[in-house]
């Protein structure tokens, strides 16, 4: 542990002209007293660490000293390729490995290129979670990620979709021996693509549905033909199609056709608009839209407003007719009197 910290201290000093004891303590997550002791230990080992006294003082390397301890460990090299998603690195427990890898790369760069990592960070940032959702880290993600990196089989308890949350009497869990091939982060939700040991079939699991994960001693041999991005794309398409169990006949204006892909699932929009579209005299087209249910269709097609007319099923059409009548009643009459705070001056909201 201390050896790794001493190496990190040398790399930090090698990548910058000088650093104060407080800066080193913050980077190394130790006290300033420990920094002093570590600097003394490095000096005694022949590393020319020099301490400048005074308010503007700090530690620096003298004599153009450069360490050769810049070889990347496997975990550090793997973490470096994920450097665009620091949030994901932190959730998988790879933040320290990534930090060490960045330091080693920075230490190996020419002085004129030392600002490259900061230059990139100022110009590119990836925010993985979806809008309007507070990201939550699944408690078992680090354990699953470690098994993925080690190609180690795991015994996992998994709560099936639609089952009650863990702790409820009706919770239904299954236990499987899995070979964890890869992790996917989709809109802030983590998934595991794994091969079921006893069947050899590949399946996809939501990490937050695991009730327990235990790594086994035995490792598995990866199928060299397995393609994680291709597998995920195929599974995502299959899932999207599997939930589209109903159909709605909709008449769309030209603007409704343009907006459809923003209102419904992309797979459903593609299927609805894939056939020949023959506009009527008003320029509208009639399509058959696959949907998850009438309830979901109502919520989705409401976003199209007057750019869509539901023709079938009749129950859904009647529901939109009732919505239209309520909206007409709301907006067709006089505007209701608005009470104002007598102590507030009229003006723009928030002024």
**pLDDT tens, the chain, 351 aa long:** 576 788 788 888 887 778 888 889 888 889 988 988 888 888 887 788 888 876 667 888 887 676 655 555 555 544 554 555 555 566 666 666 666 666 666 665 545 555 555 554 555 555 666 666 666 778 899 899 899 989 999 999 998 765 444 444 445 789 999 999 998 888 778 899 999 999 999 999 999 999 999 999 999 999 988 989 888 888 888 887 888 889 999 999 999 999 999 999 888 999 999 988 899 999 999 999 999 899 999 999 999 999 999 999 999 999 999 999 999 998 887 877 766 555 555 555 444
Q: Residue 8: what pLDDT? A: 82
- Best CA proximity match to 47, nearest among 77, 3, 88, 81: 3
Q: Buried (b) or exposed (e) across 312-332, using 16+ Cβ within 10 A?
A: eeeebeebbeeeeeeeeeeee
Q: Residue 148: what pLDDT? A: 92
Token pair for 88? 């994901």
Q: Residue 163: what pLDDT? A: 47
**pTM of the prediction?**
0.53
**Cis? peptide before 313, omega within 30° of 0:** yes
Q: How crowded is residue 141: how many other Cβ atoms within 10 Å of its Cβ?
A: 21
The rounded distance, in Å, linking the Cα atoms of 199 and 195 is 8
SS3 content of the chain, % helix, strand, coil (to 5): 45, 20, 35
Q: Ramachandran region of residue 46, left (φ > 0), alpha (ψ -120 to 50) or beta?
A: left
Residues comprising the chain, all counted: 351
H or E segment at 141? helix 141-150
Strands (E), 172-258: 173-186, 189-196, 202-206, 210-219, 246-252
The rounded distance, in Å, linking the Cα atoms of 301 and 290 is 12
Token pair for 71? 């070889």
Q: Residue 285: what pLDDT? A: 96
Q: Residue 170: what pLDDT? A: 45
Q: For the CA atoms of the chain, what is the radius of gyration?
A: 30
List the 246-252 sheet strands across, edge first. Answer: 285-291, 246-252, 308-312
Strand partners, 66: none
Q: What is the DSSP pairing of strand 210-219 with strand 246-252?
A: unpaired
- Best CA proximity match to 114, nearest among 213, 34, 13: 13
């Amino acid at each position: 542990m201390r050896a790794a910290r001493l190496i990190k201290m040398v790399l930090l000093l090698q990548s910058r002209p000088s650093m104060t004891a407080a800066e080193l303590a913050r980077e190394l997550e130790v006290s300033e007293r420990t920094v002093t002791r570590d600097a003394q230990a490095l000096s005694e080992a022949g590393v020319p660490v020099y301490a400048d006294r005074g308010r503007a003082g700090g530690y620096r390397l003298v004599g153009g000293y450069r360490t050769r301890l810049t070889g990347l460990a496997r975990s550090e090299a793997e973490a470096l390729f994920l450097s665009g998603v620091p949030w994901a690195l932190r959730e998988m427990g790879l933040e320290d490995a990534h930090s060490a890898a960045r330091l080693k790369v920075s230490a190996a760069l020419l002085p004129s290129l030392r600002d490259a990592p900061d230059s990139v960070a100022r110009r590119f940032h990836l925010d993985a979670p979806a809008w309007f959702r507070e990201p939550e880290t699944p408690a078992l993600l680090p354990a699953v990620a470690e098994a993925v990196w080690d190609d180690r089989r795991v015994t996992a308890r998994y709560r099936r979709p639609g089952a009650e949350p863990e702790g409820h009497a009706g919770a239904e869990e299954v236990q499987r021996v899995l070979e964890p091939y890869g992790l996917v982060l989709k809109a802030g939700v983590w998934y595991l693509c794994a091969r079921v040991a006893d069947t050899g079939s590949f399946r996809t699991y939501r990490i937050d549905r695991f009730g327990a994960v235990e790594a086994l001693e035995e490792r598995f041999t990866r199928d060299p033909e397995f393609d994680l991005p291709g597998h995920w794309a195929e599974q995502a398409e299959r899932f999207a199609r599997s939930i589209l169990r109903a159909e709605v006949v909709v008449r769309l204006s030209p603007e409704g056709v343009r907006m459809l892909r923003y209102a419904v699932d992309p797979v459903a929009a593609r299927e609805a608009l894939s056939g020949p579209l023959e506009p009527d005299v008003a320029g509208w087209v009639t399509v058959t839209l696959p949907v998850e249910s009438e309830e979901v269709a109502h919520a989705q097609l409401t976003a199209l407003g007057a750019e869509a007319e539901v023709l079938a099923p009749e129950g859904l059409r009647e529901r939109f007719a009732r919505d239209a009548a309520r909206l007409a009643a709301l907006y067709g009459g006089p505007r209701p009197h608005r009470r104002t705070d007598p102590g507030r001056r009229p003006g723009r909201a928030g002024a």
